[in-house]
Amino acid sequence: MNFIDIHCHILPGIDDGPVDMRESVEMARMAIDDGISTIFATPHIMDGVYDNTTLKIKEAYGELLSSLPAGITLLCGADVRISPDMIKKIERGDIPTLHGSGYLLIELPHFVIPPSMNDFVFNLKQRGMTPILTHPERHLLLSKNLTVLKSLRSFGAMIQITAQSIIGGFGRDIRKASISMLKEGLVDFVASDAHNLRKRPPQLSAACRQVEALFGDETARRLFALNQKQIVGAIESAETTLKQ
């Protein structure tokens, strides 16, 4: 299986990911060795902490692209902490979707579920975007309230959990929450959410093996490759349209 990693902090010096180009390139090599064929570079956008913009991300993406080893495709996007003016920023082009597709990674504050989340998801869908909620298994409240996740999915959100969560890298409770979400059929993607070479590595294969053992090959293929290919297909379709 060729893995597609839709959430990876691989761009150097732009958030809490790799500190320099050398580490970024080594992360790419580690990903290749693990069977990852495509990585979406998705640095944080978080008001007042990581004030990244589409332009800044594309500049860092271009620099890494020119240094990338053979054997992997690099695409770009962002891991966006939701904010009151987020939709306006998207419409202005300040926040990137996943490589120009209609898909967008969104992150909630660690200790809060905004009361208007269903409306927020609905508004994004009305604008032709599909929000992908990142790592709810690591969210203090979402990890214990699957009803909220079910509601968000009913409004059109998709769900991404972290590979390290499945294999116990964040502890027993988070692994338990991950397995519960998988059992309930609430998960659409597994991604590395990699930040470095050691504690948060760009690896998916160990988590894929656990999903295969617990839920079967078909589920593993869907969560680690097939759903991701739909995003890549949307990108290719958009690029074809622009060329016409």
Q: Does the pLDDT of residue 88 top 80, yes or no?
A: yes
Q: Does the pLDDT of residue 243 top 90, yes or no?
A: no
CB 193, CB 161: distance < 8 Å: no
| pTM higher than 0.85 | yes
- Interatomic CA distance for residues 52 and 94, integer angstroms: 9
Tell me the residue type at 127: R
Q: Which CATH class is domain 3-243?
A: alpha beta
Ranges assigned E (strand) in 21-170: 36-41, 44-45, 73-76, 79-81, 103-107, 130-134, 158-162
The pLDDT tens digits for 137-185 are 999 999 988 999 999 999 999 999 999 999 999 999 999 999 999 999 9
